[in-house]
Structure 1
Amino acid sequence: MSVSFGLLGYQYINDPVAIGSFHAIRKGMLTIASVGNLGQSRAVISNGAPWLLTVGASTMDRKFVSKLVLGQIVLCERRSTGYGVLVGDGAGFIIPVLTFDEPAVPFSFPATENIDIVLGYIRSSEKPVATILVTKAWKDHLAPNVAPFSPRGPNLLAPDILKPDLVAAGAEILAAWSPIASPSIEPTDTRRTNCFINSGTSMSCPHVTGVAANTKVINQKCSAAAIKSALMTTSYEMDPKKLENEEFAYGSGLLNPSMAVNPGLVFNASDEDYVNFLSKQGYNTTTVRLITGDRSVCKSNKPGRGWDLNYPSFSLPVKYGHEILGKFTRTVTNVSSSNATYHVSVNTPDSINVTVKP
């Protein structure tokens, strides 16, 4: 189930997506939810519940580059729909690259990372002019990268749970569009279309949902948590040199549809595991039942760490200047069609030591 909706900073008992998706996973249905579109700020993710598969957005190796027209062009220093330029008979406009809702206007609108350069030219010229040429599709040799609008963690509600879980293509996606509304969503815009190029984690989320459904068809005995694990543990590793300090942006990595169907080992989790997680987050029997809707009981109200949950990724919050020390317990299940032997390989910085037992 795909959900392109979320609330920032809401406790699980007040979050309809968290509550609804908990009931869904109890019925064997995995909910894939978008992480939001709040950009490169830290700790601004939505849908951080551990029973959700939370999706960020990446670029892909095709990008649209606008070129064309000499005339009245407006520079918008902030995100804009361009509608004001349209009604003012402008020939085009330029917007910052940090945007996710692509304007729907009948002229070109290049996005640029060099807004300061454009501003400098405008201020230094008595009659500044601009040329925007016809849009073309170019190969993006820097892809995949985390899209600039895709928000970063950490997950403030549960820092021990790494979010987002992974990323998938969500920038400049050719998507279906309802003809009920205009592409600009402006009331005076009479245009209608059945498709539209759009960007956002609402675009990446359905990609992951489709792969999850395909993985479930091939692995019908796997639980929803196991399907989630399959997508996370088989994801492409993002380049840490190109994406320095961006682990909180891409999670486990980039969605890998072909590998997800045969994950080998999975990290499974049950309803009881999630209830125990909530107990360690400070929930009691009364508040847990507001989420579960049944007679679930918290066995202990003693605060604990979220890393005890059998989660497919590992996150260790450490205070600045304190020792980096943590112990994670995980149980893996072989879902391969035959018996297999697995070997552990760990890559860490020289300053960190990781020991795996057994």
Structure 2
Amino acid sequence: MEFEPFMFPLSFITYCTLSSWIFNTNFSSFLQLHKPTSMKAACRILWLTLIVLFAEISTASVDRKTYIIHMDDAKVLELKSFYKQPQEWYEEILQLSRTTSADIDHEELPPELLYTYENTMTGFSAKLTTEQYQLLTEIDGVLHAAPDEIRSLQTTYSPDFLGLELDQTGLWNENSLQQRASDVIIGFVDTGIWPEHISFSDTGLSPIPSRWKGTCVEGTNFSVTNCNRKLIGAKFFFKGYEAAYGRINDTIESRSARDSRGHGTHTASTAAGNAVSGASLFGMAKGIARGISFTSRIAAYKACWEGNCANSDILAAIDHAVADGVDVLSLSLVGDATPYYKDSAMVASLGATQKGVFVSFSAGNSGPFASTVGNVAPWVMTVAASSLDRGFLGQVKLSNGKIFRGSSIYSSNQKKTKQLPLVYKETAGGKRVTEYCLPESLSPSLVKGKVVLCMRGINDKTEKGLVVKSAGGAGMILLNTPSYGEELVADPHVLPATLLGVSAAKAIKGYLTRDKNLTASISFYGTTYGARSPMVAAFSSRGPSLVDPYIIKPDITAPGINILAAWPPVSSITHLSSDKRRAEFNILSGTSMSCPHVSGIAALIKSVHQNWSPAAIKSAIMTSAYTHDNRGHLISDLSVSNSTQYVTPFEFGSGHVNPDKALDPGLVYDITGEDYLNYLCSINYTNAQVTLLARREYNCPSDEGKATFQAGDLNYPSFAVLFYAVKGGKTSYTYKRTVTNVGKAKISYKILIDEPKGVRVSVVPKVLKFKELGEKQSYKVSFTRSGAKTTDNKSLSSFGSLIWVGGEYSVRSPIAVTWQ
């Protein structure tokens, strides 16, 4: 009779299947052997050959690392036609090296499978020796293998600041908000969640959407009953972290989705926390704490432990989130800048986007330095951070009568200190780093009962206060360095303390140089409103991108300074072990805080425009952004003391997010998955590199060997133009864009252009006329260098904008021109 493959043990067939892949034999014909004896003989021969191959790794080092292995999706699909799960094949290939050692006296650590990825990336992660890794890379079907990497976290009144109100119009339409947004599910890849927090109450919510496929996974201090109609999913991923750092200590951090750090609880409630009246931190920022999309459902995917997030764990979290059915993914974390095909998080994010999931990332907290922005792929939303008009006033008065306004969240009943002597650097201690108030840098005999000046930087601001307090100091005045400019981030200090901007720092140090007997007092006035805002945070990472200069990044800015949101009641509000203060809400700053604002806005837009693609939602948010502050001036940069230093698209992308306008943007720029792949070809990625991102064999389209797609032709809502400042360099580029009418059926748009310095911009046609909703119109825009060579500075950039104006709509795209 004819051979039936499943009459034999699964492992036996898998060995033969693996062998056929290694030697590039015809997979289908190999399984069509007619006699069992032929099958056995073939497998025996192939198995002996494998022994010879794997014997080479018998002296492998006992040291192992975690690797992420990207597999050819087509081959895995072929495998699936015979077996239910590719995991069985992955396990077999990894175990081969365990049993083929030529040296019986040598005991080699076996490879260990950590995760398999199927939804947003095809492949697996495993702990391997160097030799095992090298052998795997030679197997047919392996597209790419790379060591695991660690990412870091980027660490309410803000809805009011954003113009969200419970009225009859706009995104927070009270009559239909619950019905619309409660069907949208936001996934958070973070430190987990504190499920009992009142912000995650399911009061008033309808049953869980029937399409939801996720679950709540039990673990340390976490059970299925911790989930409800608000928190509908909770999973945790730790194998990559433990492979790098060892087993998680359950007494410090729960080995479950429970959040003991606070970061994940804070970000989840920012985007989708339920309304909580009377929320505050020690009475400050008091009001109703409400997430941006406060009726949306939450799914928590814990992939970060003790502030570190392994890429292998992040990939597993994204893969599960997409399979579970999230609509939006929010990731407040960042890693090193690297090409997309080497960045597993960007690979998985492309897979998520292609399946209709909107993905937002924080831009990073490495500002104000140029080219520090992370998470720059065109298929993700990259979010910068900016200020609110709310502050927490901590005021300094010197004995010479000079007064300086700063920022502080000091929780004592003491509203004012006495006038106390000021000490700084050599008058506070004899060590070289005394001015930064590092541990053991201060002399108790010099600082006892005095106010210590401490420079910002190196260690955490609240730790500096603890250092001062431990040395006997009575107060602390934190001083910004030039890099931090006038950025005033509030912290819950452990002693009377406030933060001052760089101009005040310079003045106070000058006064102290001239008057050694200078004294100071610190007064605390609580919450204040009306500050000039928004202003881009000094810490917010900046462009241009080193990985991909053909896209403007970040994309957008959103509130990220002094954000009040939910907090685990068991976690210290400062993460200082000696700080026993606890609270249900905490005030934090970072692009970690700005990212969930945009995630929540995306969820609201998705609830209204259910058929919009992630690219269309992203376009709506970007083209509707505003660029002026509450004083009517262009938005400024907090990293500089000059308030007329306006930001550029490399600091805030298209501008500050404007939720209600994003709901009805007029026009959108849409992008397909195939467009992204063509774009990768245009920036000189090889077929193999694009194949890795495509998860299938991909050949870049070409015309007689030349690319058919320009980088500038990606239908992105902004324009990045590169000119090379060399003789003979290209002097003109023409790019194409296509917009879709989502505003009014019959409408015309006229073009307005603000030309960047040194460049002429022309658009054809100058008028777009639409007859119906959903109609698409295309235009071409040309950028031409004007006059002679603009500059000898190869890093010079100039900026402008292109705006389509029609009726009530203004659809704006920033332009960034860079000479290299």
Would the TM-score normalized by the shorter structure come out above 0.5?
Answer: yes
Alignment of 1:211-230 (within 5 A): 211-230=601-620
Q: Secondary structure at the match of 1:10?
A: coil
Identity of aligned residues (%): 36
Quick one: distance in 2 between partners of 1:102 and 1:335?
41
Whole-angstrom distance in 2 between the partners of 1:50 and 1:63: 34
**Alignment map for 1:77-88 (pairs within 5 Å):** 77-79=455-457, 80-81=461-462, 82=464, 83-88=466-471
Separation in structure 2 between the aligned mates of residue 103 and residue 136 of structure 1, nearest angstrom: 12
CA distance in 2, matches of 1:179, 1:298: 53
Aligned to 2:696: 294
- What does the per-residue CA deviation read over 1:145-190, in whole Å, with 9 as the maximum and x for residues that have no partner? 2111112211121112001111111111112223343122123332
Corresponding residue number in structure 1 for 2:255 = none
Q: Return 274-283 or 175-184, whichever deviates more.
A: 175-184
Question: Partners in 2 of 1:100 and 1:290 — Cα distance?
Answer: 44
SS where residue 312 of structure 1 aligns?
coil
User: 1:325, CA displacement in angstroms?
Assistant: 3.0
One-letter identity of the residue aligned with 1:338: A
- Cα distance in 2 for partners of 1:91, 1:310 equals 58
Cα contact 1:8–1:44 (8 A) shared by 2: no
Tell me what 1:15 maps to. Answer: 343
Whose radius of gyration is greater, 1 or 2? 2
Over 3 Å counting, the alpha-carbon distance change for 1:177 and 1:302 in structure 2 is: farther
Q: Matched residues in 1 for 2:488 and 2:673: separation? A: 36
Partner residue of 2:596? 206
Q: 2:474 aligns with which of 76, 84, 91?
A: 91
Q: 1:324 to 1:210 in 2, by over 3 A?
A: farther
Unmatched tracts of structure 2, length 5 or more = 1-328, 396-415, 421-449, 629-633, 637-643, 766-820
Partner of 2:663: 261
Q: Which residue does 1:69 correspond to in 2? A: 417
Whether contact under 8 Å (2:492, 2:573) holds in the other structure is yes
Q: In structure 2, give the amino acid aligned to 1:110.
A: L
Is 1:333 matched with 2:740?
yes
Moved more, 240-249 or 16-25: 240-249
Which moves more between the two structures, 317-326 or 176-185? Answer: 317-326
**What amino acid does structure 1 have at the position aligned with 2:513?**
R
Deviations 1:10-47 (A, max 9, x none): 22123233122111101111111111111211111011
Alpha carbons of structure 1 residues 223 and 281: separation in structure 2 relative to 1, 3 Å: same
Q: Report the more deviating stretch, 180-189 or 142-151.
A: 180-189
Q: How far apart are residue 117 of structure 1 and its match?
A: 1.7
Aligned mates of 2:388, 2:581 — CA distance in 1 = 29
From the superposition, tell whether residues 244 and 271 of structure 1 become closer, same or farther in structure 2 (CA, over 3 Å): same
Q: Secondary structure at the match of 1:74?
A: strand
Relative to structure 1, the CA distance from residue 178 to residue 13 in structure 2 (aligned partners, 3 Å threshold; closer, same or farther) is farther
1:226-252: CA deviations, max 9, x gaps?
000000000112417844362210111
Structure 2 CA distance for partners of 1:180 and 1:308, relative to 1, 3 Å = farther
Distance in 2 between residues matched to 1:237 and 1:335, nearest whole Å? 23
Q: Does 1:139 align with 2:539?
A: no
Residues 316/350 of structure 1: CA separation in 2 closer, same or farther (3 Å cut)? closer
1:264-279 residue pairs with structure 2 within 5 A? Answer: 264-279=666-681
Match 1:160 to one of 546, 550, 554? 550
Q: Name the CA distance, whole Å, in 1 between partners of 2:740 and 2:579.
A: 54
Map of 2:90 onto structure 1: none
Matched letter for residue 76 of structure 1: C
Cα deviation for residue 120 of structure 1 reads 2.0
Shift of 1:337: 5.3
1:27 to 332, 355, 373: 355
What's the RMSD between the two structures over aligned residues? 2.4
Which stretch of the first structure deviates more once superposed, 29-38 or 1-10? 1-10
Amino acid paired to 1:121? Y
Contact 2:615 2:670 in 1 (8 A): yes
Secondary structure of the equivalent of 2:541? coil
Which residue identity is paired with 2:693?
Answer: I
CA distance in 1 between counterparts of 2:752 and 2:711 reads 24
1:249 to 1:19, Cα distance in 2 relative to 1, 3 A: same
> How far apart are the structure 1 equivalents of 2:605 and 2:597?
13
Q: Which blocks of at least 5 consecutive residues in structure 1 are unaligned?
A: none
**For 2:607 and 2:744, how far apart are their aligned partners in 1?**
15
Pick closer, same or farther for the CA change 1:351–1:9 going to 2, 3 Å.
closer
Residue 204 of structure 1: CA displacement?
A: 1.0
Equivalent residue letter for 1:24: A
> Which residue of structure 2 aligns with residue 248 of structure 1?
650
User: 1:313 is matched with which residue?
Assistant: 718
| Matched length | 358
Q: TM-score when scaled to structure 1?
A: 0.91
**Distance (Å, rounded) in 2 between the aligned partners of 1:136 and 1:102:** 11
How far off is 1:305 after superposition? 4.6
Q: Which deviates the most, 232-241 or 3-12?
A: 232-241
Q: For residue 604 of structure 2, give the secondary structure of its aligned residue in structure 1.
A: helix
CA distance in 1, matches of 2:752, 2:721: 19
Q: Kindly provide the amino acid, as one letter, of the partner of residue 51 in structure 1.
A: W
Q: 1:53 aligns with which of 381, 393, 406?
A: 381
Cα displacement (A) at 1:285: 2.7
The 1:180/1:345 distance shift into structure 2, 3 A limit, reads same
* Equivalent-residue separation in structure 2 for 1:153 and 1:26 (angstroms): 26
Structure number with the higher strand fraction is 2
Alpha-carbon distance in structure 1 between the residues aligned to 2:388 and 2:725: 35
Which structure's relative contact order is higher, taking Cα pairs within 8 Å and 6+ residues apart? 1
Write out per-residue CA displacement over residues 119-167 of structure 1, whole angstroms, 9 at most, x where no aligned residue: 2233333333221101333334431221111122111211120011111
Displacement of 1:294: 3.3
Answering whether residue 559 of structure 2 is matched by residue 176 of structure 1, we say: no
Q: Are the counterparts in 2 of residues 51 and 225 from structure 1 also a CA contact under 8 Å?
A: yes
Aligned residue in 2 for 1:108 = 497
Q: CA deviation at 1:92?
A: 2.7
Shift of residue 199 of structure 1? 1.3
> Counterpart of 1:217 in structure 2: which amino acid?
S
Give, as a single letter, the amino acid of the residue that structure 1 aligns with 2:417.
Answer: V
